[in-house]
Amino acid sequence: MSRYSIEEFVSNTKQQDKGEGLFELETPRMLEINLNGQVWSKAGAMVSYRGQIKFEREGVLEHGIGKMFKKALTGEGTSLMKANGNGKLYLADQGKKISILHLQNEAIFVNGNDLLAFESSISWDIKLMRRVAGMLSGGLFNVRLEGAGMVAITSHYEPLTLIVTPDNPVYTDPNATVAWSGNLQPEFVTDISFKTFLGRGSGESIQMKFSGEGFVVVQPFEEVYYAPQS
């Protein structure tokens, strides 16, 4: 175990400006946002801030009836918070590892539980996988993000990206799937022969099948989602 004097501890752990722009990894598990305007973040992810920043929960009708209806179906998993102002904002989510993506007029799907923050220039929409909502604990939903700007996603431990090609589809455990490219539309398949081996938290025999051309990001961990209480 490392032992420091207070002076050494402060020196070894203090915040440092890296000059990387709006989104900056202060540590692998702590995101610093050099805010000058507005960003969206996962509700409850704020750890600390300095400066003149106001926080506001996403308005019920802010994005129209369609998104409100989808939010009702998916519970609180995609609750978002707006941060407005000028200062430094620090975000984290249960010690998960953070990856920063710079979308350049591209689209990506992110598991609703793994979306940490994104710029206001990015358009987004909730996609509920209704076909399996009753089969998986709490259902399964994701957020489609599109445009130009920064997106921060989280994963338990190190993420792994698998390339999907037309002649080589990729199968994943839904609870270990973090994100995938915006042009892919996964389908759900069941194979009872895999029941003993796959997906302890995901209905055991359900897998996501990705076909076409793109990529899928997985994590070495199964997240178990709980259905919202009515």
Question: How many structural domains is the chain composed of?
Answer: 1
Does residue 223 belong to any structural domain of this protein? no
Res. 203 pLDDT band, cuts 50 70 90 = very low
Q: Is the pLDDT of residue 225 over 80?
A: no
Does residue 226 belong to any structural domain of this protein? no
For residue 58, the enclosing domain spans 21-218
The residues near 44 (Cβ < 8 Å, ≥ 6 apart) are 79, 81
For residue 130, how many C-alpha atoms fall within 13 Å in the half-sphere facing its CB? 4
pLDDT, one tens digit per residue, over 176-196 is 999 999 999 899 888 766 555
Q: Which helix (H) or strand (E) holds 40?
A: strand 30-42
Does residue 10 belong to any structural domain of this protein? no
Does residue 229 belong to any structural domain of this protein? no
Give me Rg for the CA atoms of the chain.
19
The residues near 113 (Cβ < 8 Å, ≥ 6 apart) are 77, 223, 225
Could you give the C-alpha distances from 41 to 4, 56, 88, 114, in angstroms and in order? 34, 10, 14, 11
Does residue 1 belong to any structural domain of this protein? no
Which sign does the torsion angle of CA 185, 191, 196, 197 carry? negative
pLDDT, one tens digit per residue, over 129-154 is 755 555 554 456 789 999 999 999 99
Does residue 72 belong to any structural domain of this protein? yes
β-partners of residue 188 are: 208
- Report the pLDDT averaged over residues 8-33: 88
CATH of the domain at 174: 3.60.160.10
The three-point CA angle 177-182-184 to 5° equals: 70
Q: Which helix (H) or strand (E) holds 135?
A: none
Does residue 224 belong to any structural domain of this protein? no
Does residue 105 belong to any structural domain of this protein? yes
